Amino acid sequence: MNRLQQLGLGIVFWLFATHANAQSVDFIEPRDGDTLPTTFTLKFKVDGMRVAPVSDKREGVGHFHVLIDARDIEPGYVIPNDNQHKHFDKGQTESLMFLQPGKYKLTLQFADSAHRSFGEKMRKTINITVAGEK
């Protein structure tokens, strides 16, 4: 194997290792910039970890929270449980949401079984407009 082939193989292994361990969350629905009715579906996904109910205390698992026009929660801090911080502690990856018409910042945050934020790497923010019923 020549040096160019070795370099190419090394790059392939590096890319695989980097992406295999990448951790992130994302909204499947809605998408950034969407205009929605007052009742709409939220769908989430996670990469690099597993979704589980809060009763599952193992490492590498967690559950979703949606922050509505709220400040980001730093790693290790507990996510409040109020109208701006929706907890999906049964391990849900989908839910209906109702919001009054207006513009909103929605932040998807993954957290552990004690509701401690995994921080920026496990956070995704989008902006939506709720226009009313279609």
In a domain, 32, yes or no: yes
| Of 5 and 14, the one with more pLDDT | 5
In a domain, 111, yes or no: yes
| pLDDT-based confidence at residue 2 (cuts at 50, 70, 90) | confident
- What are the two backbone dihedrals, phi and then psi, of residue 16, each rounded to the nearest 5 degrees? -65, -45
Predicted local confidence at residue 131, as pLDDT: 96
Element (H, E) at 90: none
* Mean pLDDT computed over every residue of the chain: 90
User: Is the model's pLDDT at 18 over the cut of 50?
Assistant: no
What range defines the domain where residue 120 resides?
23-130
Q: What is the mean pLDDT of residues 66-91?
A: 97
User: Is the model's pLDDT at 13 over the cut of 80?
Assistant: no
In a domain, 101, yes or no: yes
- Separation between Cα atoms, residue 90 and residue 64, nearest integer Å: 9
In a domain, 87, yes or no: yes
Q: How many independent structural domains does the chain possess?
A: 1
In a domain, 11, yes or no: no
| pLDDT-based confidence at residue 94 (cuts at 50, 70, 90) | very high
Q: List strand residue ranges (DSSP E) for the chain, in order.
A: 24-29, 35-36, 39-47, 50-51, 61-68, 85-88, 94-98, 102-111, 123-130
**Closest residue by Cα to residue 126 from 27, 35, 56, 48:** 27
In a domain, 2, yes or no: no
